[in-house]
Amino acid sequence: MADKSQVCSVWVGSETGILKGVSLSKKQAFNFCEMSCLSRDQEVCVLGWGDQHETEVLVGSVNGTVKTFSTEKGIFTETRQCGESTQGRFTGLAVTDSALITCVETGLLRVWKEGSTDTVEINAGTNVCRMRQNPSQRNQVATGGKENGLKVWDLERPETPIFTSKNVRNDWLDLRVPEWVRDMVFIPDSNKIVTCTGHHQVRVYDPASPQRRPVLEAHFGEYPLTALSLPANQDSVVVGNTHGELAILDLRKGLVRGCLKGLAGGVRGLQCHPSLPLVASCGLDRFLRVHSLEDRSLQHKVYLKSRLNCVLLSSKDLELSSSAVTGDVEEVKEEGGEVDEVWDTMEMINDQAKKRATEEEEAVVTGVEKTTKKRKVVK
């Protein structure tokens, strides 16, 4: 299993609780889980790197456990109980030099320090949809949700947030504009934060500026946005919505640069490669797709059998296809697959026998109708 995990460049979490590793260069996919104790409450909510060298993958499940998967050994090395299922799903995982950071839907943000039973607890408000860490300052995280505006927290001073966004002004009918932060990301080497909302808005906040309202707002489509990610050039953002639409938006002018086609279901996971012009996406249609951001062509398309919740892209170089995928599914050899015993035990139906039985039934019905008509004529 160690050899298999080391070749994986993309990690995907599924609704069935399976951690899937995909090697795009070797066209192989692997399942890493314990099939004997697999259950629905082990559904993977979030994924994250456990260290900066990308040798550990953190897997957050619905039942409140956080598992550590070693990409070098190919096994799960640790399981921690970091919450209860009654507190809601995990909305984010992050690590610092000496602590694990978790956040759930009820707004309970916790810092689990290594070697200590004491935890730092922060109330980030209700209905939290996402928690993200600042890659430049790892002691800072951002939270946001439904009717819960963007907040930035300093974990070393957790009493109050260091930045709290202010809602935009009322609309032209003088009605309050509802808030619904679905995802956010810090722009590296700056204080700015990009968010996407459930009301198809993309907003840019600048905590260094005097105003707490967004300094830029753009719109895409008519459906709720679910995920976003920053490409390597950092002057644009990739967003996805519930109808399987992906778009690249310019952060300088707020305009749509182009759309990425090929998706057939809502987008749940989205991540751009840190150095290459590539973006990986997954969602309800059970496919992992990798698009090129230069010509917006589909580079890889992998069917992974389960509905997918999140994607984690390695910083290692990925192979670009010499030609775009035209719609055919890549032939990916999946090992350690899901149990198909139910299908194997089902009886095979012969199409010819079924057709013959249908013809005989139609002949009987026709004979009955003819007999009825003859009786009517005799009368």
User: Is residue 38 predicted with pLDDT exceeding 90?
Assistant: no
Cα-based distances in Å from 112 to 50, 83, 122, 265: 13, 11, 12, 36
Nearest to 284 by CA among 259, 308, 263, 302: 308
Give the model confidence (pLDDT) of 113-155 as tens digits: 887 778 899 999 999 999 999 999 999 999 999 999 999 999 9
CA gap 11, 180 in Å, rounded: 28
**Residues 322-335, mean pLDDT to the nearest whole number:** 46
pLDDT, position 226:
96
pLDDT, position 7:
76
Task: Tell me the domains of the chain and their CATH numbers.
Answer: 1-35+44-86+159-313 (2.130.10.10)
Give the model confidence (pLDDT) of 63-104 as tens digits: 999 999 999 988 999 999 998 888 999 999 999 988 999 999
pTM of the entire predicted model: 0.82
Give the model confidence (pLDDT) of 175-234 as tens digits: 999 999 999 999 988 889 999 999 999 999 999 999 999 999 999 999 999 999 999 888
Q: What is the mean pLDDT of the chain?
A: 85
Matching residue, tokens 């309970």: 108
Lowest-pLDDT choice from 74-88, 239-253, 300-314: 74-88
